[in-house]
Amino acid sequence: MAIAGNMIIGQELVKGSKKAIYAVNPATGEHLQPAYLGGGAQEVDRACVLAEKAFDAYRETDLESRAKFLEQIAANLAANVAAIVERAGLESGLPKARLESELGRTINQLKLFAEEVKAGRWIGVRVDTAMPERTPLPRADLRLRHIPLGPVVVFGASNFPLAFSVAGGDTASAFAAGCPVIVKGHSAHPGTSELVGLAIQAAVKSCDMPEGTFSLLFGSGADIGTALVSDRRVKAVGFTGSRSGGTALMKIAAARPEPIPVYAEMSSINPVYLMPEALMNRADSVATGFVNSLLMGSGQFCTNPGLMIVKEAPGLDAFLSKVAGLVSVAKPSTMLTPGIHEAYELGVAKLKSNNHVQLLAQAQEASGPNQCCACLFATTAEAFLGDPKLRDEVFGSSSLIIRCKTDEEILELTNGLEGQLTATVLMNPTDNKRFTKSLVSILERKVGRILFNGYPTGVEVCPAMVHGGPFPATSDSRTTSVGTEAIWRFLRPVCYQDFPSDLLPEALKDGNSWNVPKLVNGR
Ligand code: NAP
């Protein structure tokens, strides 16, 4: 498998005709070959025609065949680890070990969805048998199953070139649900995208799936991204990126003659609450754990702790000195793209120029391009409550400490927060549980995952995970983009009333061969 600057449309390899996109090595600033010519209306149309054509055959694949397809993609990726990791390293500046583990996660995610497909819970079969003798009205025979929505457009994320990109969580869950996928590759890592796309294309062929099950297009978001989301044949969108990008796609999708769901994961500042007894008893370990989480991956994680909320207490200044000390000696690290670096610098500059914000520490300056120098800021609850701009995400290793005078101030501030992916409570058994219960009751309405005595970075891929939350963390708080629950984003229920047995879908037949879990007459 080698890259050649191609888009993938079904089984074809296609060169675009629009402006060339070059990946940039963020560590050196150099352009990487080959050029990726963006696609246009013709390529969008071809990918959508094929995806629509593939839909009916792909959605009715039996559970074993669909699971095998997901496993084959995983196997094809596993056979190309060295090439994928090497190219992803050049395009993202991320270290080899991180990329190897991200690719491992991507492979395991595909296998997990293969298991989910086989288990058949996602079909959600319910059968309410006919009651012809019921009075005053008889009941019809009613059978429900979930079917996939249709072709899905996935936008690859910049910060996870593997686990949230071409074969990442959105693609795996859409494939598992039975949806063909068209990926709009992220312009920061086209070579990585092409390599991964070739692995999927090969699996489509060897597993005898319909040709249009998968396509990968390149081009600018405003151009090809808009065209894809506007296309009538596309029925849902998965996205991870900026708040402005996600909300733009939500507007396009809502303005279509047939609006469609957009599952966008956007912006989150992930508050961490440090309780007084935890501050008093384990200030050193909290300082280390918090700073490690803040610095991980140059802070380019959606769960990066951008906010710490703490009550005034005797040990607070010593704790903040400790945190500031750790931040000030942090090594600079390469950020993913020049654009992300620029946005980080801008966010940090805004905080520095805010009269109500104090710079507690800044890591050493770096000489190379696109370096993240970690920053730690502090402000008061009063200032935070009075300035909505302080709630903006600064994507990178920057965090704002909010010093609160009272518990009431903490609750008021929490009430004013926007939706978040996570919130973390660091507490000791002797901390005030009544207050914590009040806090958790507010947090449940604000976030997708509440952690006790941990740190928000690091998202397990498993059935119980929720990587979601109210806007702007995501565009739809009822879902998750990580874990097997993500499959439900791409399914909808259909009820079959009084169907002749031979016309029923296999999973709904009495004594069916699929043997999937069922709720029969409420049991
Ligand atoms: P982005 O700018 O939102 O881009 C993500 C994808 O969406 C790209 O493919 C982009 O196309 C496309 N896109 C953006 N705006 C669009 C629009 N108006 N219409 C159609 N398509 C559009 O995100 P990014 O490049 O990954 O990073 C930029 C910033 O996003 C970061 O600095 C950070 O603040 C934020 N971010 C947040 C998270 C998070 O998890 N919270 C993750 C990643 C990034 P192009 O190819 O034209 O760029």
| Domains recognised in the chain with CATH numbers | 7-120+150-266+476-502 (3.40.605.10), 271-452 (3.40.309.10)
Q: In what order do the strands lie in the sheet with 358-362?
A: 358-362, 375-380, 398-404, 307-311, 271-274, 420-426, 447-452
| Interatomic CA distance for residues 182 and 153, integer angstroms | 5
Query: Containing H/E element for 289?
Result: helix 283-295
For residue 414, the model assigns a pLDDT of 98
**Ligand 1 mean position, distance from CA 242 (Å):** 4
| Interatomic CA distance for residues 457 and 142, integer angstroms | 45
Give the tokens for residue 371: 């370096």
For residue 365, the model assigns a pLDDT of 81
Mean pLDDT of the 482-489 span: 98
| Interatomic CA distance for residues 84 and 376, integer angstroms | 35
Three-state SS string across 179-202, please? CCEEEECCCCCHHHHHHHHHHHHH
Could you tell me if 299 and 398 are in contact, meaning their C-beta atoms sit under 8 angstroms apart? yes
* 31-44 pLDDT, tens digit each: 999 999 999 999 99
pLDDT confidence tier of residue 511, bands split at 50, 70 and 90: confident
* 152-202 pLDDT, tens digit each: 999 999 999 999 999 999 999 999 999 999 999 999 999 999 999 999 999
Nearest CA to ligand 1 atom 44: 241
Give the tokens for residue 113: 């969805």
Q: CA 13 → CA 3, 216, 456, distances in Å?
A: 11, 10, 40
Nearest to 423 by CA among 270, 266, 306, 267: 270
pTM value is 0.97
| Interatomic CA distance for residues 150 and 192, integer angstroms | 26
Could you tell me if 105 and 99 are in contact, meaning their C-beta atoms sit under 8 angstroms apart? no
Mean pLDDT of the 348-377 span: 95
Mean pLDDT of the 320-329 span: 98
Residues 110, 113, 119, 123: is their CA dihedral positive or negative?
negative
Asked about 375 being catalytic, the answer comes back as no
Could you tell me if 480 and 471 are in contact, meaning their C-beta atoms sit under 8 angstroms apart? no
Q: Is 126 helix (H, G, I), strand (E, B) or coil?
A: strand
Q: Is 184 in the pocket of ligand 1 (CB under 6 A)?
A: yes
Average pLDDT over the chain, rounded to an integer = 97
Nearest to 294 by CA among 395, 381, 164, 384: 395
pLDDT confidence tier of residue 513, bands split at 50, 70 and 90: confident
* Burial class of residue 285, CB neighbours in 10 A (0-12, 13-18, 19+): exposed
| Interatomic CA distance for residues 28 and 505, integer angstroms | 56
Q: What is the dihedral of CA 383, 387, 391, 396, to 10 degrees?
A: -80
Nearest CA to ligand 1 atom 48: 221
For residue 445, the model assigns a pLDDT of 98
For residue 1, the model assigns a pLDDT of 80
DSSP string of 229-258, one letter each residue: HH-TT--EEEEES-HHHHHHHHHHHHHSSS
- Which of 158, 348, 370, when mutated, tests ligand 1's pocket best, judged by the most ligand atoms within 8 Å of its CB? 158
- Name the active-site residue from 179, 302, 373, 404: 302
Q: In the predicted model, is pLDDT for residue 16 greater than 90? A: yes
Q: Is 149 in the pocket of ligand 1 (CB under 6 A)?
A: no
* 18-30 pLDDT, tens digit each: 999 999 999 999 9
* Burial class of residue 223, CB neighbours in 10 A (0-12, 13-18, 19+): middle
CB neighbours of residue 314 within 10 Å:
9
| Interatomic CA distance for residues 234 and 51, integer angstroms | 9
DSSP state of 38: P
* Burial class of residue 502, CB neighbours in 10 A (0-12, 13-18, 19+): exposed
DSSP string of 432-466, one letter each residue: -HHHHHHHHHHHHHHEEEEEESS-S-----STT--
Task: Supply the angle between the helices 96-119 and 81-92 in degrees, to the nearest 10.
Answer: 120
* 389-405 pLDDT, tens digit each: 999 999 999 999 999 99
Q: What is the dihedral of CA 9, 13, 17, 19, to 10 degrees?
A: 90
Q: Is 268 helix (H, G, I), strand (E, B) or coil?
A: coil
Q: In the predicted model, is pLDDT for residue 367 greater than 90? A: no
Give the tokens for residue 324: 């500031």
Q: Is 14 helix (H, G, I), strand (E, B) or coil?
A: strand
Q: Is 472 in the pocket of ligand 1 (CB under 6 A)?
A: no
Q: Is 304 in the pocket of ligand 1 (CB under 6 A)?
A: no
* 222-264 pLDDT, tens digit each: 999 999 999 999 999 999 999 999 999 999 999 999 999 999 9
pLDDT confidence tier of residue 364, bands split at 50, 70 and 90: confident
Q: Is 69 in the pocket of ligand 1 (CB under 6 A)?
A: no
**Ligand 1 mean position, distance from CA 268 (Å):** 14
* 104-113 pLDDT, tens digit each: 999 999 999 9
For residue 361, the model assigns a pLDDT of 98
CA 10 to chain centre: 25
Asked about 91 being catalytic, the answer comes back as no
Q: Is 302 helix (H, G, I), strand (E, B) or coil?
A: coil
| Interatomic CA distance for residues 121 and 90, integer angstroms | 41
Give the tokens for residue 27: 């560590």
* 214-223 pLDDT, tens digit each: 999 999 999 9
Q: Is 447 in the pocket of ligand 1 (CB under 6 A)?
A: no
**Backbone phi, then psi, for 79, in 5-degree steps?**
-80, -5
| Interatomic CA distance for residues 361 and 345, integer angstroms | 15
| Interatomic CA distance for residues 200 and 216, integer angstroms | 10
- Residues recorded for the chain: 523
Which atom of ligand 1 is the closest one to the Cα of 246? 3
For residue 512, the model assigns a pLDDT of 83
CB neighbours of residue 383 within 10 Å:
17
Q: Is 226 in the pocket of ligand 1 (CB under 6 A)?
A: yes
Mean pLDDT of the 448-456 span: 98
Q: Which residues pair with 377 in a beta bridge?
A: 359, 400
